[in-house]
Amino acid sequence: MSGFGRSAISYAMPLAALAMAVAVRASGLSVDEGLLNARILVGALSSAIMFVTIFVVLDHAEAVARRVGEPYGTLVLTFAVTAIEVSIIVSMMLHGENNPTLARESVFSTVMIASTGVVGMCLAFGGWRHRKQAIVRQGTSAYLAVLIALTVMTLILPTYTQTTDPGTFSAAQLGFVSVLSVLLYASFVFAQTVRHREDFIQGQPHDISVRAAPHENISSSALLLMAGLIGIVMLAEQVAASVEDTLVAYQVTQADSIVGAMIAGLVLMPEAISAVRASLNNELQRGLNVAMGSACATIGLTIPAVAAASLLTGRGLTLGLPAADAVLLVLALFICNVSFSTERTTFLTGMVHLVVFFTYIFLIFIP
């Protein structure tokens, strides 16, 4: 592990995040409607602690990933981050007023940030440093095929079904699509880790499955990874709720989109940093595995989870995207298809993705 990871900070921050989250919950500041200014201050402090903890969690996750090797290593952080997003969305669905579009906005934001923002930074920064970078076309094509099928079924198809109102599924349709999503994602993970493992591993001059160094305590890294993730989950929920309350108090019209993008940005930060690091180290395929894996896992696992919560609690769930967001999503997927159609990428390829990403960010605030 790095010097930073071996320092006392790597042990203290996961525990500090847990302690901060428990303290805020016990104080009642996260729910007391009469303490808006205090909630904003606590939200800022929680954000600072969470930001540092994210880097610490990333360090521990990379230690565990080095132990298990590729492509299993990328799945460690992918599953962890997906668990964070599911817990935040479900928690916010079950508390406060019914918000049927929060899950849609969070999932859509995750796909857009991963496929345009994170992928764009990987391609642009890696291309700038190394001029041209190689990818494994079979692996990236598999990611893209799964992502296209899942996004169309869950985010675009609901707008055109006729059983219920536009943008929604009936209970039978929601259950059917959720089961298909889980099965497709499970099939993809099986192909990635067992059947076609070589399609997701880029040839390296060193052994990518090398074991961790003797001084690395994998047990402690795994425990601190879990503690840090739990702390991030609890703090992110409080930060997101505080931001949502503030936006509503100041009558911001695009509150759902902003909160959804914020949730996606917070939970994707560890993976984004890991992906960019890999790209800068000329391990672009590993970076793409992390970025595209996040998008696939978000739809394949988050949608079924929030669908189950909706069916069990009777809370409304709107998944169909508005027309403008659907156009952006289709554009992002089309550009991914073009970018991954060859086995080499450049700085320009990344800039195309980033242009779409900045358009997505701009339209959040000025639709």
pLDDT tens figures, 102-125: 889 888 998 999 999 999 999 999
Question: What is the distance between the alpha carbons of residues 62 and 69, in angstroms, rounded to a whole number?
Answer: 10
**pLDDT at residue 339 above 70?**
yes
Query: For residue 212, what pLDDT is reported?
Result: 46
* 3-state SS, residue 133: strand
| Phi/psi of residue 165, nearest 5 degrees | -65, 155
Question: What is the distance between the alpha carbons of residues 232 and 227, in angstroms, rounded to a whole number?
Answer: 9
Query: For residue 274, what pLDDT is reported?
Result: 80
Is 310 or 327 the better-scoring residue by pLDDT?
327
Question: What is the distance between the alpha carbons of residues 164 and 106, in angstroms, rounded to a whole number?
Answer: 22
Question: What is the distance between the alpha carbons of residues 317 and 309, in angstroms, rounded to a whole number?
Answer: 10
Contact indicator for 79, 88 with CB cutoff of 8 Å: no
Band of pLDDT at residue 95, cut at 50, 70 and 90: low
Question: What is the distance between the alpha carbons of residues 147 and 296, in angstroms, rounded to a whole number?
Answer: 5
Q: Rounded to whole angstroms, what are the CA distances from 261 to 8, 173, 280?
A: 32, 27, 26
Tokens of 73: 């290593």
Most confident of the ranges 81-90, 116-125, 298-307:
116-125
Q: How many CA atoms lie within 13 A of 106 on its CB side?
A: 30
Please give the single-letter amino acid code of residue 53.
Answer: T
Least confident of 118-132, 247-261, 278-292: 247-261
Residue 306 is classified by DSSP as H
Please give the single-letter amino acid code of residue 322.
Answer: P
Tokens 């508005």: give the residue.
322
Query: For residue 336, what pLDDT is reported?
Result: 92
Angle between helices 303-313 and 171-190 (to 10 degrees): 150
**pLDDT at residue 209 above 50?**
no
Band of pLDDT at residue 7, cut at 50, 70 and 90: low
**Mean pLDDT calculated for residue range 147-164:** 93
Q: Rounded to whole angstroms, what are the CA distances from 116 to 127, 241, 263, 337?
A: 15, 26, 17, 12
Q: How many CA atoms lie within 13 A of 129 on its CB side?
A: 14
List, for residues 210-252, the tens digit of each pLDDT value: 444 444 567 777 788 788 878 877 776 677 666 666 666 676 6
* 3-state SS, residue 344: strand
Question: What is the distance between the alpha carbons of residues 27 and 45, in angstroms, rounded to a whole number?
Answer: 15
Is 324 or 44 the better-scoring residue by pLDDT?
324
Average pLDDT, the chain: 80
Query: For residue 352, what pLDDT is reported?
Result: 95
Question: What is the distance between the alpha carbons of residues 63 and 312, in angstroms, rounded to a whole number?
Answer: 38
Least confident of 12-16, 71-75, 177-181: 71-75
% of the chain at pLDDT higher than 90 = 27
Q: State the DSSP H helix or E strand holding residue 345, giving kind and residue range, or none if neither.
A: strand 344-345
Query: For residue 3, what pLDDT is reported?
Result: 47
Q: State the DSSP H helix or E strand holding residue 108, giving kind and residue range, or none if neither.
A: helix 102-112
Tokens of 36: 């808006």
Query: For residue 353, what pLDDT is reported?
Result: 96
| Vertex 171: Cα angle to 169 and 172 (nearest 5) | 95
Least confident of 21-25, 247-251, 289-293: 247-251
Going from the N-terminus, what domains does the chain have, and what CATH number goes with each?
3-202+217-365 (1.20.1420.30)
Count the Cβ atoms, other than its own, within 10 Å of residue 248.
Answer: 12
Tell me the H-state helices in the chain: 3-6, 8-27, 36-68, 72-94, 102-112, 119-130, 137-151, 171-190, 218-249, 255-280, 284-297, 303-313, 323-339, 347-365
